[in-house]
Structure 1
């Protein structure tokens, strides 16, 4: 490691996180699309977590503000993309995410499904699939925005079942509707999720048509994603970007070469990458606290999260599959967890002693969250040990 490389300290990495992830009060976003762009993409696997991630970064507005962006303005859109996971990205960035990642995922899902049809040997094949997809689109046009159940009621072929893993221990019978609607039509960009039935925490989406994205060459798209990711998450490593995107190592290296990142020293003795020229010292924002939901990008943006998470706290805050639960932050460091009890009370626990100023700021953030959630009850999709303890 060259001592001539610029140094980015752990404190500066936390300063960057607070300002660039729009978590410090003075840095909060004016729109949902701005909040999404700040972290490249907001995780949307859990409907409630998406709204809470946006809330933590917005200067003002309630759940209706996020709904307006998703379903009326369509300034942000859901895409099955990085790591074969559902994310929300700005409409501006969507063509790049689609080309860099979503297209290959859609193609893989189609190949996998056709393989299952072939193995099932019930007379369902590529021709049947093409007819079924066409019928689903016609039904959607005839009925307007409708749920998957409503589409299945209108299209008998969507009620078919296939056997997956025939002759194996994991053999199971499964319906085709979810795969055709969510993993084929939606992944192909022919339909999109619209306002769900129920509240903003519901995942029972209605489906509507969507227009195709502007075509962007895949290499150009990956370079743009890598450039934005480095700005939001740098200093970071090649391994971090590979983990976050789910791209091959070759694709990651080509994208980074196209971007031309700068190398910096870290105060733990390692090196990492930042965007071109992004090596100036990062001044501290004002002190800030945040209550982030499970799966939030600020907790999941790196393969190595040591600069903002004490390894001793990992068991309490992550589930068995590596999904982070609701977390309490103080000045760029995870210092505890939070939960909502059945009666609506928001409770939290510190996993150390960050000081009285931190406790006061965290309590104020709880007071900011409570009216935003209102009478809604939130249960994370992925439960963690600390979250379960807090609601018990």
Structure 2
């Protein structure tokens, strides 16, 4: 069994994640594909993740891919998280990870509707709600916002107290329709850093809507692409990222003929059958990645690139804040001052060459942001430290 060291794993990040200068992608589609998917929980993350990977990227480039050419599509999938997927990956997600989310979410909606006394038959209520939304949008191919849908459909204009201080309403129905692939978060009606999409029928958004893959085939395709991006990884890494069952993960590893390798600190890992050969070192590189960037969130076991910095860079729920990278390792984070200038906060001693490279990335990002400050609901402890 071949040993893949931590150093080689870090070299793979530099060579495959399109964040090292000289190895960046030519456009948004290619950058997304090399990462399998992009996190889209916060709308700004998509733009900043792509900026880190595409030289000369403009916000119009991202809007074109998302809303004009629609080569990249937002989809609720793994771990009930919103991602941006290459369009051709949608059938795999619809048949596997998204279907799993939709099933779980549907059961919760049904239970909450009955518990709140809105209806005696929660299944019938949800079916009627979904049908009402789809029927209304059939006459509005450009889509409608959640507020417009709630105002137009009395059936979904409800608010339910789920727990103390927590309510849900029409948005849950739209989320379920999104998980099943019937609706898509279409054109954004707000600034690029904020999100208020027009919910649109998938058939109106895409010129051709392919059928979902069978669950086993879908999971295999997701795992194959994950291994191409993040391999080697452990079963626990894949299980966490996929949000499925251990049985589904093990079956997918078999279906893609994954090869077992030894890892320096995490036991047994897996790579694709054509990815066993050693990957050589790469030149040191610097990068500034946003909140929830896919490189930071790709593994469950992160010590080989995080070291001991996990508690400082992740919140209590496991959400990653901004990160500053040098030579394949996370060495700090970044924030903006009141004028929007990007500042790097180092958590460990970094050589002068690394500090200078990170300062260059900070200047590049500051120029691109043009004084616009990016807020987040997932600041890490290091980001919240007083200046």
TM-score range, shorter chain: over 0.9
Question: Out of 282, 285, 291, which is 1:285 matched to?
Answer: 282
Answer with 257-266 or 298-307: which moved more: 257-266
- Unaligned regions of 5+ residues in structure 2, if any? 204-208
Task: Tell whether 2:43 aligns with 1:47.
Answer: yes
After superposing on structure 2, the runs of 4+ consecutive aligned residues of structure 1 that deviate more than 6 Å are: none
Matches within 5 A, 1:90-169: 90-123=86-119, 125=121, 126-143=123-140, 144-164=142-162
Rate the CA distance shift 1:336–1:118 in 2: closer, same or farther, 3 A: same
Task: Tell whether 2:313 aligns with 1:317.
Answer: yes
Q: RMSD in angstroms over aligned alpha carbons?
A: 1.9
Question: Out of 236, 255, 261, which is 1:264 matched to?
Answer: 261
Take 1:374 and 1:113, find their aligned partners in 2: how far apart are those partners?
42
Aligned to 1:251: 248
What is the CA distance between 1:175 and its match in structure 2?
Answer: 4.2
Take 1:381 and 1:269, find their aligned partners in 2: how far apart are those partners?
31
Take 1:356 and 1:171, find their aligned partners in 2: how far apart are those partners?
51
Matches within 5 A, 1:1-392: 5-123=1-119, 125=121, 126-143=123-140, 144-164=142-162, 170=163, 174-182=167-175, 184-211=176-203, 212-268=209-265, 270-311=267-308, 313-389=309-385
Question: Contact between 2:266 and 2:301, CA under 8 Å: does it hold in 1?
Answer: no
Aligned length: 380
Take 1:175 and 1:287, find their aligned partners in 2: how far apart are those partners?
47
Rate the CA distance shift 1:108–1:31 in 2: closer, same or farther, 3 A: same
What is the CA distance between 1:141 and its match in structure 2?
Answer: 4.1
The Cα offsets for residues 342-361 of structure 1, whole Å up to 9 and x where unpaired, read as 32111111111220111111
Take 1:88 and 1:389, find their aligned partners in 2: how far apart are those partners?
31
* TM-score, length-scaled by structure 2: 0.93
Rate the CA distance shift 1:131–1:271 in 2: closer, same or farther, 3 A: closer
What is the CA distance between 1:33 and its match in structure 2?
Answer: 2.1
What is the CA distance between 1:158 and its match in structure 2?
Answer: 2.3
- Unaligned regions of 5+ residues in structure 1, if any? 165-169
Partner SS state of residue 93, structure 1 = helix
Question: Contact between 1:329 and 1:335, CA under 8 Å: does it hold in 2?
Answer: yes
Question: Contact between 2:288 and 2:361, CA under 8 Å: does it hold in 1?
Answer: yes
